[in-house]
Amino acid sequence: MAISFEHLHIDKTAQQSAIDCYLLTIQAAMINQIAQVTQGVLLLKDVLHAAVRQLREALQVSDCLIFQALEHQLIAAGLDSAVMEQATSILSDICTKNNTWLAQGQTVSLPGSEQQLPPALENWARACGFGSILLVPLLYRQSFYGAIGLIDTGKERQWMPQEIAFVQAIATHWAIAFYQGELEQRYQAEIQERQQAIAALQVSEARNCALLEIIPDAIFRVRRDGIYLDWKAAKADTLPINTSEIIGKHLHQVLPTEVAGLIWEHVELALETKDIQIVEYQQWLNGKARYFEARIVTSGSEEVSAIVQDITEHVQARLILEQVNDALKVRVEERTAALKKMNQALKAEIIERRKVEKQLRASEAQILNALAKEKELSDLKSHFITITSHQFRTPLTTIQSSAELLEYYGHKWSQEKKLTHLHRVQTSVKNMTKLLNDVLIIGNAEVGKLEFAPQPLDLENFCQTLVEEIQLNYTHQHQLVFTTETTEAQELNYFQPPCMDRHLLRQILENLLNNSIKYSPRGSSVELILSYYGEQAIFKVCDRGMGIPTEDRERLFETFYRATNVGTIAGTGLGLAIVKKCVELHQGQISLESQIGVGTTFTVTLPLSNSLFTHENAEKDSSY
């Protein structure tokens, strides 16, 4: 038993009554101290420490502690710092995790608790050698504020009901004290907040008053029905009515009818739309027109506030600015018109200059083209003179020598020998004639005067006759072969004979055949193959000569150009150029395949029907 009365020789009932009386006395004293804390007479901290001491002495326990759940604060006596830290942690954990049954007012006791004790509490009690522990919650109005803990070391102690009731009564009053402390703190916080709000309001009012004083404009409040609620006159107020006489009056009683109606209309708009309304109006004061701007904004459910500013100077400045702008606009338009005229004249001059420049460029191009052609003609002339002087020298020499021999020795020679020299003269004349003809053809082709007169032509007969004529000139030196690769189906498809220029076709085939003979070894054969493909005639001239180098093929059809491997073989470089011109007049194509030491094949493709001949025939048919 915590309280010993062994020195009193009284019965057990009297002893129990004495204990109850003793505890009630201590309880009354402690409750009185708690009441003085709530009244502000005593300090909470001092009374808490005194309460811990009184509970420890009254119940004769090893130590007593009070734990505040809100601040996790522990007040104890006799425990060292390490034990106090551990006790604070454990009690905080218990109050957090076991607050359901603590908040219901149930006590936690060791031993004898009906609830299962937290393992941390049992382990802590066992480690510290605590025989008995009693935890009584601080509970008031279903709010949990902490707990009072009683600790007794040594042997286990059975807590008496009156002891538990005693501690519960003290705990209840401490809970009330903490509750009132919370209320006091809230009250003080509210007082402080209100004082701060009042101070802020006073500062705001002072600021607003200062702003109103320095604002030079008139300010008023008006209800929806047009009644003035407040009015602050402008610094230079010119209204013929005092401020005190405006409040309570209608807009129409203070302002002219037009102005009052305009402002009242915008008051309604501001209340309906909740948007700021800006209205400008004119008012005559002291015989002068003044301009005002009212900015109206809602300041309540059924009222608006407005600031009225005298904008006479702004309006006058705006009018002056508009006049200046109008004058400037006129000047700008005049200047723009003048600039447009100048621009048009400049554009015309630029266009004219561009035309002149274009003409100059065209003239320059023509001059350059003419110079290029003149240079080309000059080069051709020089080349021609060189070639012809060289090509004419041999036949002229032959003619001269044969003529002299016939003159001096003709009477001594036989008829056969005379004919041999005469044939030499004739051959030389033919070569010179061909050279002159080639030059004339090239000249006419260069200036676009080469005649093109297509006529119906039997190609097979034409080719056969040409091959036979050329064969006569070369007798047994080369063998010329003509073949035709025409199928019966192709012959049936041709309803009209081929139409080509006989003279130009002869130039094409004769030059190709002569070239093949010239650059082929003696005894070799030269082939002319005629075939058809669709509406085209294809002529192939094949030889087994020296071949044409690849690097020479691109320029092979240029005038006076000869392959680099011809050596001392005589030639003018005009034959293939003539062929190219004649093929182009027929709107045909020419190509070649060649291999050095194997031979060359020229392929000429010409259309069977010529548009020029077809057009002329159509004109003749229409004239019949």
Q: Is the dihedral of CA 129, 134, 140, 144 positive or negative?
A: positive
What mean pLDDT is predicted for residues 502-511? 92
pLDDT digits over 373-388, tens only?
777 666 666 666 666 6
**How far is 150 from 133, CA to CA, in rounded Å?**
6
Contact 590, 515 (CB under 8 A): no
Comparing C-alpha atoms, which of 528, 526, 461 is closest to residue 500?
461
Q: How far apart are the first and last CA of the chain?
A: 160
Q: Is residue 9 pLDDT above 50, yes or no? A: no
pLDDT digits over 524-562, tens only?
999 999 999 989 999 999 999 999 999 988 888 887 788
* Averaged pLDDT of the chain: 80
AA letter at 64: C
pLDDT of residue 387: 65
pLDDT digits over 94-122, tens only?
666 655 666 666 777 777 666 666 676 77
pLDDT of residue 505: 93
Residue with tokens 């009212």: 294
**How far is 476 from 522, CA to CA, in rounded Å?**
9
Contact 178, 146 (CB under 8 A): yes
Instruction: Domains for the chain: give ranges and CATH numbers.
Output: 12-187 (3.30.450.40), 215-310 (3.30.450.20), 451-623 (3.30.565.10)
The first and second tokens of residue 32, run together, are 């009185």
**How far is 56 from 50, CA to CA, in rounded Å?**
10
Residue with tokens 């003279």: 503
Which of helix, strand or coil describes residue 622? helix
Sequence-distant (6+) residues with CB within 8 A of 440 are: none
Contact 124, 109 (CB under 8 A): no
Task: Give the HSE-up count for residue 273: Cα atoms under 13 Å, Cβ half-sphere.
Answer: 12
**Highest averaged pLDDT of the listed ranges 127-136, 227-236, 346-355, 557-566:** 346-355
**How far is 48 from 64, CA to CA, in rounded Å?**
11
Q: Is residue 612 pLDDT above 70, yes or no? A: no
**How far is 269 from 250, CA to CA, in rounded Å?**
18
Q: Is residue 624 pLDDT above 50, yes or no? A: no
